[in-house]
Amino acid sequence: MKRYHIVYQGLVQGVGFRFQLLHIARELGLTGWVRNAGANVEAEVQGEKVDEFLKKTLQKRGFAEIYDYAYKEISCIQDEKNFTVRY
């Protein structure tokens, strides 16, 4: 199991991008969170399919346009149960 901290840059605010990530994470059975971070969107995602999550989130979806992103592997959180949108 892995956990990634990811920052997406681009047209990711006001276009439903966080909820797209929520849907993908839940579809893949992952845990973590997503939130707005200034002009960017920041997420932490954990589970067996985090690489698949990253690949899917970088595909063109709706009005969101990702110009750049950065991620790093971080320590897993024990007993985390779901993926949420933070405000």
Total of domains in the chain: 1
In whole angstroms, give the CA distance from residue 18 to residue 12.
8
Pair of tokens at residue 83: 């993926």
pLDDT number for residue 60: 85
Write the CATH number for 39.
3.30.70.100
Q: What are 35-86's pLDDT values in tens digits? A: 999 999 999 999 999 999 999 999 987 899 999 999 999 999 999 999 999 9
- Kindly report the pTM of this predicted structure: 0.95
Rounded mean pLDDT, 3-29: 96
Catalytic residue (one of 35, 36, 40, 61): 36
Assess whether pLDDT exceeds 90 at residue 26. yes
Strand 31-37 versus strand 83-85 pairing type: parallel
Catalytic residue (one of 18, 35, 82, 86): 18
Catalytic annotation present for 36: yes
Q: How far is CA 37 from CA 12, 34, 41, 79, in A?
A: 10, 9, 5, 25
Give residue 79's domain range.
2-85
Catalytic annotation present for 82: no
